[in-house]
Chains A and B, each alone.
Chain A
C-alpha cells in the first residue's frame, strides 16, 4: 500500500518531465505565414513566401518535387519556383490583365510536409475580372501525404504557442478537479458538521487557487501572443477572473471569521455557492455568449488541433500529470491542516 502511495507521486513527476521535454523539443510542422509583396499588379513578379516550423528539406535537383500554385476564384495559376531555403520559397509568377478573383490563395506542395495553405496570400490590383488565359493555368499535382514524424500541427496565429496547450488547459482541469473535491467536502461538512471535512475543503480551495492563478497567468501569456493583448474583455476571461476572486473571497472570509467556532459551516456554505458560480461562470455563460476563447461557441471540446495524434500523446499525459501533482499538493496541505488543527485543539 505504501509503495503505491509514493508510486503515483513519482509517476506524476515522471509524466510532467516527459511533458516538458516532449512539449518543448517536438518540432512544429511547417506552415506558411506571410507573403511578399502582398499586392500585385498585372505583369511578372518575384514572390517570396515565408514559412515557420520544421525547415523544408533540401530540394532534389533531379525532380521538381516542390510546386507553388496560386488560386484565384476556382482557377489555378502557375508559378515557377526559383529558390527554396529552409524557411522560405521564392517563385516567379505572371499576373494576367484579367483574373477570376482579386484575392489569391497560395498552395505549396512539398515532398515531406504535404500541402501547405495560405489563404488570401495576395491581392491583385488594377486587373479586370475574367477567366485566366490558358497558358497561365496550372494543374494541381498529386498530393503527397505528409511524412514528418512526431511533430505538432501548425495552426495560423497560434504557431509555436500551441505548446501552451500542455500547460494552460491541464492547469484549469486540475483547478476544476480540486475545487470539485472542495465542493464535495463542503457538502459533507454541511451534512455532518464534522471538522475533518472542513480541513479538506480548506486544503482543496487553497490548492485550487494556486492552479487558478497559474491558469490565468498562462492564459494571459497566450492571449498576448495570439490576440495581441495581455487581457481582453471576453466572457470566458471574465468568468475565470471572477472565479479566482471568488475563491480568494473564501480565504478572506475564513480569515475574517478567525477563531469563531462556526467558521467551518459558514465557509462551507460560501464554498458550495462559489462552486455553483464557478460552473455557471466558466461552463454555462461563455457557451451562450460570443467568446474568442477556443472550445466555446456551443462546442464543449477543442478545435481540430485536439484531434492531432502527436499532440494527444503529450496532452493526455499532461492532464494526468498536472492533475496528480495538484492532488499531491492537496494531500500535503491537508496534512498540514490536520497537524495545525491537532495542535490548536490539544
Chain B
C-alpha cells in the first residue's frame, strides 16, 4: 500500500514536471497567459486613473486574477484530448495524474499571484489614501490562497468540461463561475482587510476557510477524477 502511494506521488511529481517542461517548451501559451494578465492590469490602470477606492481596487484585482486564472487553467486538459490521452490512460494512475495537475495548478497560481499582484501595484499604486498595504504579508498570502482555492476548483471543472468534444472552454466558464463565487467573496474580503489594516484577529478565520475550500475541492477532485478518466 505504501509503495502504491509512493508510486502515485512519483507519478504526480513526474506529471507536474512534464506539464511545466511542456509549458516552457511551448512558450507561447505561457506568454499568452502573462500577456492576458498584464494587458488586463493595464486596462484597469487606464480606466481607474490612479484614483481608486479600496473596494474598487480589490474588485479590479480579483477580476483580473479571475480571468487570468481561467485562461491559465482552462487549457490544462487540452493535451489529454488527443493521442496523448490514450498513452497516459495506459501508463498513468489517474490519481497520480490528478495530483500532478493540481501540483501544476499550485505552481501556476504562485507565478500568477506574483505577476498579477506585482504589475497591479506597479501600475495602479495603492488605493486612494493608503501609503502601502496594512498587512503586506497578509495581502500576498491572501491573494495566493484565494488564487489557490480558485485554481483547484477550476482544475476539476476543467477536467469535466474537457470531456465535451466541442466548446469545452465556454462550458468551463459556465460551470466554473458560480462555483468560484464563495471563494472570490472570501478572497476579496481578505485582501480588502489586509489593505485596510483590519486587525489580524478579524481576518484570522478567512484564510482557514480558503484553505479548507481548496483542500476540500482538491480531495473531491481526486476521488472523482478516476471516474471521468476511465469513462
Contact = CB atoms under 8 A, between A and B. Distances in A.
Interface of A: 190, 233, 238-239, 241-242, 245-246, 248-249, 252-253, 256-257, 260, 262, 265-266, 268-270, 272-273, 276-277, 280-281, 285, 288-289
A238 B185 contact: yes
A121 to B, nearest CB: 35
B165 interface: yes
Nearest to A264: B231
A273 B224 CA distance: 8
19 contacts: A190-B227, A233-B185, A238-B182, A241-B181, A242-B182, A245-B178, A249-B175, A257-B164, A260-B164, A265-B227, A265-B231, A269-B160, A269-B224, A269-B227, A272-B224, A273-B220, A273-B221, A276-B216, A285-B182
B163 interface: yes
Contacts of A289: 205, 209
Contact of B228 (A233, A260, A266, A285): A266
Interface in B141-192: 156, 160-161, 163-165, 167, 171, 174-175, 177-179, 181-182, 185
| Secondary structure type dominating chain A contacts | helix
A281 B178 CA distance: 12
A265 B226 CA distance: 11
Contacts of B164: 253, 256-257, 260
A276 B220 contact: yes
Q: Which 5 residue pairs spanning A and B have beta carbons closest together?
A: A245-B178, A262-B231, A249-B175, A265-B231, A256-B164
Contact of A262 (B163, B178, B182, B213): B163
B93 to A, nearest CB: 18
A239 B205 contact: no
Interface of B: 156, 160-161, 163-165, 167, 171, 174-175, 177-179, 181-182, 185, 205, 209, 213, 216, 220-221, 224, 227-228, 231
A20 to B, nearest CB: 33
Given A260-B165, A266-B228, A253 B182 contact: no
Contacts of B163: 257, 260, 262, 266
A89 B204 CA distance: 51
A249 B221 CA distance: 17
A242 B174 contact: no
B165 A242 contact: no
Given A245-B177, A246-B179, 20 more contacts: A239-B182, A245-B181, A249-B174, A252-B171, A253-B161, A257-B164, A262-B231, A265-B228, A268-B227, A269-B224, A269-B228, A270-B175, A272-B224, A273-B160, A273-B221, A276-B216, A277-B179, A280-B213, A289-B205, A289-B209
